[in-house]
Amino acid sequence: MSYKVLFPKQVWIIRGHKEEAEICLSFFELLKKYGYGQDLINIITDLFTHLPVAGLIDGRILCMHGMIPMELTPELLESGWEPWQNTRKVLNTAMTWNNPMEDLKGYPPNKKLHPGHRLGTELITNQMKWLDVEFVIRGHQVMTNGVRRLGDLPLATVFSTSGHELGPNLGAILFVDPEENAIVPIFIVNIRHTSIKTQKDFDKKLAEGWKVDDYARPLPVERAVTEKKEAKEAKEATEAKEAKEAKEPKEEGKK
């Protein structure tokens, strides 16, 4: 939040499933002990209601904590919606609690007492086409290697906390490289919670079976790559034509 205050145009914070009043109540005893507890709780939870539940990078990369809800439409994605107070509301619940799963059909509810639903690859593909987005970046689930792609889908789950209680795990962040039109993982290691303290330790883990290399490759944004290739080919064709036209008068002069 401090970075958002310092760099308001460069830092964007997306709301997760824990940023709501019901979950923050567990901190009230601590806040009450140090004074101004109720006032602080009210300020914090009011702030949460104004955090966006999704972000759209360059109009093509959709970011959220949970997963694409079936209720989301292109119009809602473009216009946004009013601040909300409770993630149990259908659309916002889905954006913060939904999970993707391979080899799953339908839109079944999450297991246990968790709200939200699960989506299979077919539904995800259809929703991405409907919303006209090329790639989805989401969080919500601990990834052993920090980041993981869902099969062949242009979708990646990234988890930035390393050494999580459900770990051991690497943390990761994703960098959108405008030059290469790719999404590149950058890995984070918490040396207090893992046995990885040096590059040698990291290489040893890879040798033991950690498949970080499976996810370390850039994740291409297909349409952008295609457009860049076509633009490059068009530029080369224009330059070749201009070079040919510039050369022809000289050859005629020689004759």
Q: How many domains does the chain have?
A: 1
Contacts of range 73-80, beta carbons closer than 8 Å, 24 or more positions apart = 73/130, 73/131, 74/130, 74/131, 74/132, 77/131, 80/52
Has residue 46 been placed in a domain? Answer: no
Domain extent, residue 237, equals 225-255
Has residue 250 been placed in a domain? Answer: yes
The Cα 151–Cα 153 span in angstroms is: 6
DSSP 168: S
Has residue 71 been placed in a domain? Answer: no
Has residue 234 been placed in a domain? Answer: yes
Has residue 113 been placed in a domain? Answer: no
Residue 194 has pLDDT above 80, yes or no: no
Residue 216 has pLDDT above 50, yes or no: no
User: Where is pLDDT greater, at 93 or 130?
Assistant: 130
Has residue 253 been placed in a domain? Answer: yes
Give me the chain's average pLDDT, please: 74
Res 240: pLDDT: 83
Q: How confident is the model at residue 249 (pLDDT cuts 50, 70, 90)?
A: low
Has residue 249 been placed in a domain? Answer: yes
How many helices (DSSP H) and strands (DSSP E) are in the chain? 10, 10
Has residue 120 been placed in a domain? Answer: no
